[in-house]
Amino acid sequence: QVQLVQSGAEVKKPGASVKVSCKASGYKFTGYFIHWVRQAPGHGLEWMGRINPKSGGATYAQKFQGRVIMTTDTSSNTIYMEVSRLRFDDTAIYYCARENWFDPWGQGTLVTVSS
């Protein structure tokens, strides 16, 4: 079945970087964009950006430009998202989701930024 499996929870200090992975299976990896969405505690969903797994081209929400990098590894059907210069308010669950229609979603990766 179509599935996105994300890497495990992370705890980072302010100013550090975190890299979250999203491994796809059950479909043609290069056929669909992958999006990243985050949800801070008690908040709604926030779109961060998307990547074309075939070309590696990515588009980021303006808020995250310069601080987020999305990459792809077609040899392992895995998408990566790295967030640098972490702040306390980056504490959130980060999800990957497949276009079209944002189905399926990964199970989520909790990133906690704490000193």
Partner 1 sequence: DIVMTQTPLSLSVTPGQPASISCKSSQSLLHSDGKTYLYWYLQKPGQPPQLLIYEVSNRFSGVPDRFSGSGSGTDFTLKLSRVEADDVGLYSCMQSLQLPYTFGQGTKLEIK
2 binds partner 1 (CB under 8 A): no
Phi/psi zone of residue 26: left (φ > 0), alpha (ψ -120 to 50 degrees), beta? left
Out of 23, 72, 79, 106, name the contact with partner 1 by CB under 8 A: 106
By CB under 8 A, is residue 55 in contact with partner 1?
no
Q: How many residues bind partner 1 (CB under 8 A)?
A: 22
Q: Which of 70, 95, 111, 113 binds partner 1 (CB under 8 A)?
A: 95
Among 9, 16, 40, 45, binds partner 1 (CB under 8 A): 45
Q: What residue type is assigned to position 103 of the chain?
A: D
- Tell me how far CA of residue 50 lies from CA of 32, 34, 101, 112, in angstroms: 10, 6, 13, 22
Answer for which of 62, 75, 89, 115 binds partner 1 (CB under 8 A) is 62
Tell me whether residue 17 or residue 59 sits nearer to partner 1 (CB atom): 59
DSSP characters over 61-107: -GGGTTTEEEEEETTTTEEEEEE-S--GGG-EEEEEEETTTT-SB--
List interacting residues with partner 1 (CB under 8 A).
35, 37, 39, 44-47, 49-50, 59, 61-62, 95, 97, 99, 101-103, 105-108
